[in-house]
Chain A
């Protein structure tokens, strides 16, 4: 642990973070450091506070105690270096905007008040759509897309943010196999360019394959570290408690990876 707590090279540092919903704590005393260039999976049972952790990092939910530093500064001062992929169901897909409009929103953080996206912004948005192979859909209304296509649009929007740290909330939920492969390929490419990615994930069977670091969460931080060290039966049992159906999944996941 860095003693000063303000290491500017550290993408994310969390100290004693507690978050409550309606006065009921959902995250207790989280201490966490994420080094640069990692592809990190945030894993835990339903209600473990995975999304809450992501939102609390960005200040979307108020912390009851503790602090978060992003690249050594409070979030607000570093927000232009953070890209966010919210859960797909968090927005209304009947909204009257095109795919291009949504991706351009990723550029808004770089624009001044009342400033319109420039030609350069549109160029970048087009490149990002190309990367997720959604460029032919640029002028489609977003409601006419499949779940996987919608997720790719969200990913393209995050790419357009040109960030150093990406926070992604369940990007693999409800997508087809082709999209899942496309997303993980893209995440690895971002990682190879030195970006740090923190991804909420629920499918234990793919954890070992996808992530090189894990954060195991169940209201408290159960463990954080390299996947091969902490993705063990013992720690998963501590994370998921005595939930038998999940434990059999765990056994299978470990068996496959083993």
Chain B
């Protein structure tokens, strides 16, 4: 892949490139490595359609049933077309919310795996209420009475990523990025020049390391390889431990903790 910033001047943009690398593991790979054969995919939002950009279902983490929801970009051209390059429509976010509500009903923890350049900006998506779908997820996830953990495994593109990231904790892979806008979009709006994306990537503070310092995420995770069984086992245990910790709280405590988590972000300078 051509990389205009391959000279260490713009390390943030190198992370952006790494997060977008088509050879890296996708949500489906993580689900397979974490849940193995126990995974059962569940489809559809019960309102309009099944959005293939979001892959979701049930799986076992050791002895614990978990609802897992991932944004899937696809691993080859054919899959990428099918998955709409990991850009979900409103029905994708509504499928996710349906399954989160189901998880709440059955007291199952929810694991979200985020990898998207953003919610799809298209005519159908607007007609079916992309903004409303995301807004509803933000509201409902904030008071979901079951533990929720989100891991950013690649790109975290704006509202389309946040719609699956109102969680008790948010973790990022060391090469993942998370931003309010793509560096290209930012550069073209602010400086009328998308070639200044590397500078924008630095300014936006979008790497896992930046976000950890800003208090937006709780943990940075080493980038695993597909066959790295030990790494996935330790990730499995880490996820389980976090679920157990939060499952021990009362509903009220859990929701208060989640509210406080977001309430405090960026308020350090505010009186």
A binds B: no
Chain A residues close to B by CB (< 8 Å): none
Which residues of B come within 8 Å of A, CB atoms? Answer: none
